Amino acid sequence: MSLSPASGIGRFYKHSAKIIRFVRLGCANRPFYHIVVMERRKNQHQPVIEQVGSYDPMPNESNERLVALNTERIRFWLGKGAHMSEPAAELLGISGLLPVHPRTYMTAWRNRRAAAEAEAAETETSKVDTA
Amino acid sequence: MSLLRHFRKLSVEHTRRTLAGSASSNTRQYDKDPQPLFTDAETQRLLQNMTQLQLDKVFRKRTVSDNSTETKFMTTAQLEKEFLQTIVKANKLLQMPPVVKVKEDAQDALITKDAALKDFADTKYVFTDITFGLRNSERKVVVRDVDGSLSYASLDTRKRMNQLYFPLDGRRSYTPRMFSKPELLQRCLEEHKYEFVLDRLTVQYEPYELEFHQISARVFEHLMESKQFDLLRSTRHFGPMAFFYAWHRCIDDLLYDMIRQDYLHNAVELIALSYKIHQIPVDYKQTLGQLDALQPTPGQRALAELRNCLKKPQEQHIQDDIQAAIGKTEQDFAADEISLKFIEEYIGGEHALKKVQLELAVQTLKELNLEKLQLYQGLKKAHGVQASSS
Amino acid sequence: MLRAGCQLLNQAAAVKTGSNNFALEFVRWRRKPRWLPVAKSKMFRVPERKKQTEEERTELMRLHNNYKTQLRSVRQYLREEVVRQQETSTADHIVLTPEQEEAEFQRCLDENAAWNAKIASERNVRLAEEREAKVAYVQERLEAAKLRSEERREKVDERIRYEIEQAKTFITRESLEVAIETALANPVDHNYAIDLEGNMYRGR
């Protein structure tokens, strides 16, 4: 039986650009990601160099999103000069391992603004109703 | 979908609350940390002696998938070696689950709080460090909450994550219904499946969890009422049980059972343990020393029992025959005398609760012992065995 | 509706590929080919541009600058950590002090010497056995050869004795005259017949 691509059978050149990124697994309407190190130029479904974590973006029954990170290897690969894809960088920022990514801040303030606007609209309509 | 999740969460919380509520109201809890007293070398020795070592019970057939036995031809020397290894193995199997205090969530769990991250997502994120070679206890689990605060996960979440990423054999990721529904647990207890409940409890919960304490306390209390102490004897749960009774000053039922079954040595140890725990100024060490000098440890006894099967019938001395018929040796009679004295002192003291019952049991035992002693001496005289030869 | 369309497409594809298991059909990830024109319904669609206010842009710029600076220093730290790790780690090789190395070498030597001694003793025993066997074999062969030559000499002697015996009746130069005389004196006639009973019938 052939090894699954997640088991780290990917071949790579010594000086090629590596990247820490997601690989989308799971199925239709049920995403699940492996966080892997692979050559930057490769397609996500090709064999990876190493799997360094997993990310389940669907909240579980206690309303949490679960992330597993092999921090030792992530540190190693970052020290080796591996790049990060933007979602991966965001996730690592949220985890507190790296500085928080600006995009996370942006999402946060956009969400806050949307919530405030929705609330304003709510009060507006209720005022109209009472009037 | 989310509605369903909400309901499920509600039901989980509900069951937990009911269990905790029902258990904490009427079960005994350790009021301070019992760990230093429990792991103390002397206490451990007392508990191990009380547990006894019945090899038949330790190596009995269990409800596991592989119960196979191996048959081998061996020389006597090899067999002797195997016996020693068997005792070591049995002692390993009888290792007691520790009694420690309930661990609370850490107070300074918060790492940082970033107000600018408020509402960055609609759910919490739980990050687990899966670095190779870490123990479950030292693995870091952090939670990023919706309000942007990063903190160490609560014990509950930690356990869930550890079980998710590094599952332990036999432990469920959800609470087994046996533990979540009090009526099911009650049924187990009424059918006297104490060992099964305690085994499963040890697998499912860590010793520092509140549920572990509550359920084990419930089992021990039920056991005190049903008085089926023999079911737990020579299992790994006997020690914690005795410790529990000694801690909560309710050793009398167990003591009564021990006297009835003629385990006087254990009875003395139990009383000594309770003296030790409550720091009652009675010198028990001397009595224990005398008894230890007279009687072998459980390991030695089990070994002797094993060796006994090897003996050929013509090798057996007439004295061994007499001892086998009565079940006691001269040392045993001497030890019984010392222990009875110690036990009577305890019953006469202020700490015994069921004095009448205990006194009756002691009296019965005394009469029985006297009869046995007379029979023993008579038999010896009849066979012409010298008293000093033993 | 959509599903029905898919089924139709599937059937068409199945017909085209001959519906064997070897031709893998990707149904889910089918795309419109690049060379087909823009769909009619999307022909005049102008994608909406997300607008970004000036203050948001400057804020993001600031954050990105911060982030890049921080990440750079973190990376620097991690790089140093990796180098440090590689220098100090003994994960893939064994580090020994000279004394340990010497002791290890000595131990290896001793062990080797012990092995050699053991093998030498075994070999000596084996060689002695082999030598004995060889001597025995040669001895046996020699005896056999001796026996054989003896036999041969016996046979030759026999032959010689026989020949000497025979040689008494030979016709020599001296006895030639006598022999001729004798032959002439006793002519032998071989012209006769013999019947089944052995009776001789002389003719002539």
* Predicted confidence band of residue B329 (pLDDT cuts 50, 70, 90): confident
* Minimum distance, in Å, between the CA of residue A120 and any CA atom of chain C: 21
Place of tokens 């010896």: B380
Is B128 close to A67, i.e. CB distance below 8 A?
Answer: yes
Give me the pLDDT at residue C20, please: 52
Q: Are C80 and C128 found together in one domain?
A: no
Q: Mean pLDDT over residues B88-111, rounded?
A: 92
Give me the pLDDT at residue C16, please: 44
* Minimum distance, in Å, between the CA of residue B121 and any CA atom of chain A: 7
Residue A102 or C190, more confident: A102
Interface probe with A: pick from C64, C74, C92, most Cβ of A within 10 Å? C74
DSSP-derived pairing of the beta strands A83-84 and A18-27: parallel
* Minimum distance, in Å, between the CA of residue C4 and any CA atom of chain A: 19
Q: Which two tokens stand for residue A124?
A: 């507006």
The dotted CATH code for A5-101 is 3.30.1320.10
Return mean pLDDT, chain B.
Answer: 86
Among A53-62, B190-199, B335-344, C58-67, the minimum mean pLDDT is found in B335-344
Q: Are C18 and C65 found together in one domain?
A: no
Residue B123 lies in a domain: yes
Nearest-CB residue to A64 (from B116, B123, B130): B123
Residue B272 φ/ψ, nearest 5 degrees: -60, -40
Residue C126 or C49, more confident: C126
The answer to pTM > 0.80 is no
Helix (H, G, I), strand (E, B) or coil at A109: helix
Is A80 close to C82, i.e. CB distance below 8 A?
Answer: yes
For residue B1, what is the nearest residue in chain A, using CA coordinates? Answer: A61
B/e letters for B150-160, b = 16+ CB within 10 Å, e = fewer, are bbbbebebbbb
Is A65's Cβ below 8 Å from some Cβ in B? Answer: yes
Nearest-CB residue to B114 (from A68, A100, A115): A100
Is A79 close to C28, i.e. CB distance below 8 A?
Answer: no
* Predicted confidence band of residue C22 (pLDDT cuts 50, 70, 90): low
Nearest-CB residue to A95 (from B120, B127, B161): B127
Neighbors of chain B with 3 or more C-beta pairs under 8 Å: A
Domain count, chain B: 1
Residue C128 lies in a domain: yes
Is A64 close to B126, i.e. CB distance below 8 A?
Answer: yes
| Complex ipTM | 0.93
Give me the pLDDT at residue B314, please: 63
Give me the pLDDT at residue B18, please: 44
pLDDT (tens, 9 = 90+) of chain A, 131 residues, equals: 455 556 678 889 999 999 999 999 988 899 999 999 999 999 988 889 999 999 999 999 999 999 999 999 999 999 999 999 999 999 999 999 999 999 999 999 999 999 999 999 999 999 888 76
Q: Are C20 and C69 found together in one domain?
A: no
| CA pair distance A97, B112, nearest whole angstrom | 12
Is A78 close to C75, i.e. CB distance below 8 A?
Answer: yes
* Predicted confidence band of residue C10 (pLDDT cuts 50, 70, 90): very low
- Please give, one letter per residue, the 3-state secondary structure of chain B: CHHHHHHHHHHHHHHHHHHHHHHHHHCCCCCCCCHHHHHCHHHHHHHHHHHCCCHHHHCCCCCCCCCCCCCCCCCHHHHHHHHHHHHHHHHHHCCCCCCCCCCCCCCCCEEEECHHHCCCCCCEEEEEECCCCCCHHHCCEEEECCCCEEEECCHHHHHHHHHHHCCCCCCCCCCCHHHHCHHHHHHHHHCCCHHHHHHHHHHHCCCCCHHHHHHHHHHHHHHHHHCCHHHCCCCCCHHHHHHHHHHCCCCHHHHHHHHHCCCHHHHHHHHHHHHHHHCCCCCCHHHHHHHHHHCCCHHHHHHHHHHHHHCCHHHCCHHHHHHHHHCCCHHHHHHHHHHHHHHHHHHHCCCCCCHHHHHHHHHHHHHHHHHHHHHHHHHHHHHCCCHHHC
Residue C106 lies in a domain: yes
Q: Are C113 and C144 found together in one domain?
A: yes
Q: Are C124 and C156 found together in one domain?
A: yes
Give all strands of the β-sheet with B141-144 in edge-to-edge order: A83-84, A18-27, A30-39, A50-56, A64-69, B124-129, B141-144, B149-152, B110-113
Is A64 close to B143, i.e. CB distance below 8 A?
Answer: yes
Q: Are C131 and C162 found together in one domain?
A: yes
* Predicted confidence band of residue B17 (pLDDT cuts 50, 70, 90): very low
Residue B126 lies in a domain: yes
Chain B residue numbers with beta carbons less than 8 Å from the beta carbon of A115 are 119
Is A105 close to B120, i.e. CB distance below 8 A?
Answer: yes
Nearest-CB residue to A108 (from B9, B118, B161): B118
Chain A residue numbers with beta carbons less than 8 Å from the beta carbon of C67 are 99-102
- Which residues neighbour B10 within 8 Å (Cβ) at sequence distance 6 or greater? none
Is A64 close to B112, i.e. CB distance below 8 A?
Answer: no
Q: Which two tokens stand for residue A127?
A: 């005022």
Give me the pLDDT at residue A128, please: 86
Q: Which two tokens stand for residue A106?
A: 């942006």
Chain C residue numbers with beta carbons less than 8 Å from the beta carbon of A80 are 79, 82
Q: Mean pLDDT over residues C131-147, rounded?
A: 97
Residue B60 lies in a domain: no
Residue B362 lies in a domain: no
* Minimum distance, in Å, between the CA of residue A82 and any CA atom of chain C: 10
Residue C137 lies in a domain: yes
Is B144 close to A71, i.e. CB distance below 8 A?
Answer: no
Run of H or E residues at A76: helix A71-79
DSSP-derived pairing of the beta strands B141-144 and B149-152: antiparallel
Chain C residue numbers with beta carbons less than 8 Å from the beta carbon of A94 are none
Chain A residue numbers with beta carbons less than 8 Å from the beta carbon of B121 are 65, 107
Q: Are C16 and C78 found together in one domain?
A: no
Nearest-CB residue to A98 (from C71, C79, C83): C71
Domain count, chain C: 3
Is A93's Cβ below 8 Å from some Cβ in B? Answer: no
CA angle (B325, B389, B315) in 5-degree steps = 55
* Minimum distance, in Å, between the CA of residue A129 and any CA atom of chain C: 33
Chain A residue numbers with beta carbons less than 8 Å from the beta carbon of B161 are 66
Per the CB < 8 A criterion, the answer to whether A9 and A47 are in contact is yes
For chain B, give the percent of residues with pLDDT over 90: 49
Residue B297 lies in a domain: no
CA B9 vs. chain centroid, Å, equals 34
In order, the DSSP letters of chain C are -HHHHHHHHHHHHHHHHTS-TTS----TT----TTSPPPGGGTT--PPPPP--HHHHHHHHHHHHHHHHHHHHHHHHHHHHHHHHHHH--SSS----HHHHHHHHHHHHHHHHHHHHHHHHHHHHHHHHHHHHHHHHHHHHHHHHHHHHHHHHHHHHHHHHHHHHHHTT---STTHHHHHHHHHHS-----EEE-TT--EEE--
Residue B25 pLDDT greater than 80, yes or no: no
Q: Are C157 and C122 found together in one domain?
A: yes
Is C78 close to A75, i.e. CB distance below 8 A?
Answer: yes
For residue C81, what is the nearest residue in chain A, using CA coordinates? Answer: A79
Among B19-23, B215-219, B348-352, C200-204, the minimum mean pLDDT is found in B19-23
Give me the pLDDT at residue C94, please: 76
Q: Mean pLDDT over residues B65-75, rounded?
A: 86
Is C85's Cβ below 8 Å from some Cβ in A? Answer: yes
Q: Mean pLDDT over residues B78-107, rounded?
A: 91
Residue B197 lies in a domain: no
Neighbors of chain A with 3 or more C-beta pairs under 8 Å: B, C
Among A39-53, B17-31, C121-135, the minimum mean pLDDT is found in B17-31
Chain B residue numbers with beta carbons less than 8 Å from the beta carbon of A96 are 111-112, 127, 142, 144, 150
Is A101 close to C67, i.e. CB distance below 8 A?
Answer: yes
Is A105 close to B125, i.e. CB distance below 8 A?
Answer: no
Is A99 close to C67, i.e. CB distance below 8 A?
Answer: yes
* Per-residue pLDDT tens over the stretch C42-72: 999 999 988 889 999 999 999 999 999 999 9
Give me the pLDDT at residue B15, please: 46
Q: Are C101 and C153 found together in one domain?
A: yes
For chain C, give the percent of residues with pLDDT over 90: 56
| Residue C157 domain boundaries | 96-168
| Residue B143 domain boundaries | 110-153
Residue A48 or C16, more confident: A48
